[in-house]
Amino acid sequence: MSVETVPTESRVILKDLSFDHELWDNEMKYFRNELEIFDHRMEEIIGRSENRDFLREFEHFQNQFIRQNEVWDILNQKVRKHRKKLMRNLADVQSDPEHEYFNEHARLREEFDTFVRIYTEIKNKFFVFLDKYL
């Protein structure tokens, strides 16, 4: 089925899906880069204090950033698989606005938004930590 024969509302939905994937790809690259920057920053500051509170909080943030890297890896894989699934099933998705793919997409969007929210909270708390000790 060509795009010209797909109902207008399905084309819009497919454009929305493609837009989400482009955004996710760009944001995933951004978060990966930023996580690497935080890793380097953590390496720079570890030796600055022997204070137990500092070291305890430092370890907490180190663990949080390690976990966010793991979550990023999982989410990135899901986004890639999701895009591949869309490409493999494009004809089915185009012809059926109720296709399961749309539910999966909505769940993935929620998961992505949750990652961004949690990551942003950790990052903001890390800045407070830096202001407190450095």
Tens-of-pLDDT digits for all 134 residues of the chain?
444 444 444 444 777 788 899 999 999 999 999 999 999 999 999 988 899 999 999 999 999 999 999 999 999 999 999 988 877 777 676 666 676 777 888 899 999 999 999 999 999 999 999 999 88
Range of the domain at 102: 3-133
Residue at token pair 């084309």 = 11
Identify whether the C-beta of residue 128 lies closer than 8 Å to the C-beta of residue 40: no
For position 11, what pLDDT does the model report? 46
- Collapsing DSSP states into helix, strand and coil, what is residue 89? coil
Question: What is the model's pLDDT at position 31?
Answer: 97
39 contacts 65 by C-beta, under 8 angstroms: yes
CA distance 109 to 79: 9
CB distance 119 to 79 below 8 Å: no
Q: How many domains, the chain?
A: 1
Q: What's this model's pTM, rounded to 2 decimal places?
A: 0.81
Q: Could you give the CA distance from residue 88 to residue 82 in angstroms, rounded to a whole number?
A: 10
By CB atoms closer than 10 A (0-12, 13-18, 19+), residue 98 is exposed
| DSSP 3-state of 134 | coil
